[in-house]
A = this chain, B = another copy of it.
Amino acid sequence: MPVRRFYKLYLSPSRKYVKTLKNLLGFVPGNLSLYRLAFRHKSVAQSVKKGVKNSNERLEFLGDAVLGSVVAEVLFKLYPYKDEGFLTELRSKIVNRANLNQLARKLGFEKLIEYDNRMISATRQGSLLGDAFEALVGAVYLDKGYDFTKNFLINHIIKSHIDIHTLEQTETNFKSKLIEWCQRHGKDIIFEHIPNQEGESTKLFTIVVNVDGEVMGLGKEFSKKHAEKLAAEKACEALGI
């Protein structure tokens, strides 16, 4: 065992934190401050120069991009005979917020995230997990580089925790997802059919979704069902469901 690694794990003042991270990630982290930053929500962050806070949001921006790129390559190679529409859709099923929240919960991120629960509603607390997961990817990237991050994501995360072939089969039912969410949060939801405008094809259906009286999505398609689906999808996106 190299001296640095031995020191980090057994002698340094941060050895407990290093061990927790090692158990979680499967490797000994280098620059600890990056990992601390990845787990720090803005509700407990301090303002640094020019009013920017030392929260995980910037790392989340970087990690989101790196994760998107790694997953793109995995799918590109896993499905050599599928077109880019298929690849795009499958990637968004893998990296969507709900999936990342669940993943981060399974990985045990809850005990590592620092946040002030008085400032965040219970609904929002779940999505801190996914945000922290993306920020962690950003931290690993800055600490260890792209190839290391790619191997970490493939071997430690994707292979063990993400069932790509099952996700491939699941069609996301945005309408029922949205209705369920509204019921759980006590919100009124109305799907409204908007009459066609003058000159518009009479075959088109325009559906607007109202959540608590606010338009959250609009879909326009050649069948009412598809228009509803699209409107619900937009609303899910807008509400971050």
Contacts and interface: CB of A to CB of B under 8 A. Distances in A.
A56 to B, nearest CB: 10
A214 B218 contact: no
A49 interface: yes
A10 interface: no
A237 to B, nearest CB: 12
Contacts of A69: 65-66, 68-69
A64 B65 CA distance: 10
B65 A84 contact: no
A7 interface: no
Interface string A45-65: 000111011000110111011
Interface in A179-228: 197-200, 204, 206, 210, 212-215, 218, 220
B220 A197 contact: no
13 contacts: A48-B81, A50-B81, A57-B84, A58-B87, A61-B84, A61-B87, A61-B88, A62-B73, A65-B68, A66-B72, A146-B146, A197-B215, A218-B218
A147 interface: yes
B213 A198 contact: yes
Nearest to A210: B197
A163 interface: no
Given A146-B147, A199-B213, A83 B58 contact: yes
Nearest to A212: B199
Contacts of A15: none
A150 B141 CA distance: 13
